[in-house]
Amino acid sequence: MTYESSISFAKKADQEDPLKKFRDDFHMPQYKGKDMIYFAGNSLGLMPKMSNSAVSDELEIWAKTGVLGQHNCWIDYHKHLTQSTATILGAKPKEVVVMNALTINLHLLMISFYQPTPKKNKIIIEHGAFPSDQYAVESQIRFHGYDPNDALIELRPREGETCLRTKDIIDTFNQHGDSIATVLIGSVNYYTGQAFEIEKITKAAHNVGARVAIDLAHGAGNLDLDLHNWEVDFAVWCSYKYLCGGPGSPGGVFVHEKHENWDGPRFNGWWGNKKATRFIMDSKFDPIVGAEGWQISNAPILAMACLRSSMAIFSNAGMPAIIKKSKKLTGYLEYLIGSLKDKIKIITPKDSKQRGAQLSLVVKKNAEEVFNGLNSNHIICDWREPDVIRVAPVPLYNSFVDVYRFYEIVKDLTK
């Protein structure tokens, strides 16, 4: 697509957009009866209009049937989300299950897949990863009796750079060799917006005998993923960002099929027991084969109903079309902001293969004032200390006109 800096170009691009109809499937925040410009889908996705009726349907079942709803409707409710989740992640259905929240899931899978020994106990994580990941990893290291000062390796960009180079990541693996037990890396760094080359990183980590975990908080529903073929060992994600599952909506886990008959350590729970033997109420755990074996408790039905309404939209739109528009929309934002390069620096990689639907902007002068000015103009984006404005043009509900209007306002604010 050849971009132009004009409202007429933006309107024409929206008219030709095959995904334009999906904007009407979401509630858009409004101010005085007019849609606000919402670029915060990397923090909390918008609410699908179907969510109200989806939750009401389950409440109606509860009201009319009580516990019979559990046996007739809800015992396998999580399975309504299995195929759509697997499609988005590039996984087999038996490799995924929707459950819990991201950091809880990370802890559960680390208990299984981080098994340190005196010679092999190091965890590699990106410096500047989301704090919750850092807290989880450090606590896991201490839980196993090791010191994070010795067992934790943080990947840092080269001096003067903000993003990591894949070569440097792989060189770090080779430098530390078989002392590495686990590599945990985000699919997208929340601060810079850099999307990592997961396939290359996974292969290099496996070459030194390490297991690979991916935090998909900013990747699920945003990136073109192929977890099964990349042979990632496990992954976790949340669903309230790009997946639009709602505040606090359940996350999920991916466990590669090579681990499906897992006989190592894990924290067991009733819902991970095979359905056929679950209600025998025996004290011996009989795990479900595949990712479902890591389930602890029964599903949060009302929260999953919201997520189910969103996943129906994803299934209808299709990830290939979503990714295609995402690249065009984010590319248009990059093109427009590029004309303000003396006032704004984009720290997200220029290569569309190394980012998703996010650009991280550093305003060179009065950055926080500019961010507050955007809020005053009813543009919702995200501020991250010390100096980054995160802007996420989400393809399912954002438009080229949204991007152009953002540009006009930020241009005026940086005069």
Strand partners, 234: 213, 255
Integer CA distances (angstroms), 77 to 96, 226, 301, 328, in order? 14, 25, 7, 36
Q: Which residue's structure tokens are 């103009």? A: 377
CA-closest candidate to residue 353, choices 327, 389, 392, 380? 327
Q: Tell me the two tokens of residue 307.
A: 């997520």
386 prior amide bond cis, ω within 30: yes
Single-letter amino acid, residue 144: H
Cβ burial 86-107 (10 Å sphere, 16+ → b, else e): bbbbbbbbbbbbbbbbbbbbbb
Q: What is the structure's pLDDT at 296? A: 96
Cβ burial 296-319 (10 Å sphere, 16+ → b, else e): beebbbebbbbbbbbbbbbeebeb
Q: What is the structure's pLDDT at 349? A: 98
Mean pLDDT rounded to a whole number for the chain: 97
Integer CA distances (angstroms), 128 to 141, 249, 253, 333, in order? 18, 25, 23, 25
Q: Which H, E and C letters describe 50-67, residue by residue?
A: CHHHHHHHHHHHHHHHCH
What are the pLDDT digits (tens) for 64-85? Answer: 999 999 989 999 999 999 999 9
Q: What is the structure's pLDDT at 255? A: 98
Residue 1 has pLDDT above 90, yes or no: no
Domain residue spans of the chain: 7-47+319-413, 55-314
Contact by Cβ (8 Å): 170, 210:
no
CATH 3.90.1150.10 fits 7-47+319-413, yes or no: yes
What are the pLDDT digits (tens) for 5-58? Answer: 999 999 999 999 999 999 999 999 999 999 999 999 999 999 999 999 999 999
CB neighbours of 64 closer than 8 A, spacing ≥ 6?
A: none
Q: Which residue's structure tokens are 């079942």? A: 61
What are the pLDDT digits (tens) for 290-346? Answer: 999 999 999 999 999 999 999 999 999 999 999 999 999 999 999 999 999 999 999
Q: What is the CATH number of domain 55-314?
A: 3.40.640.10
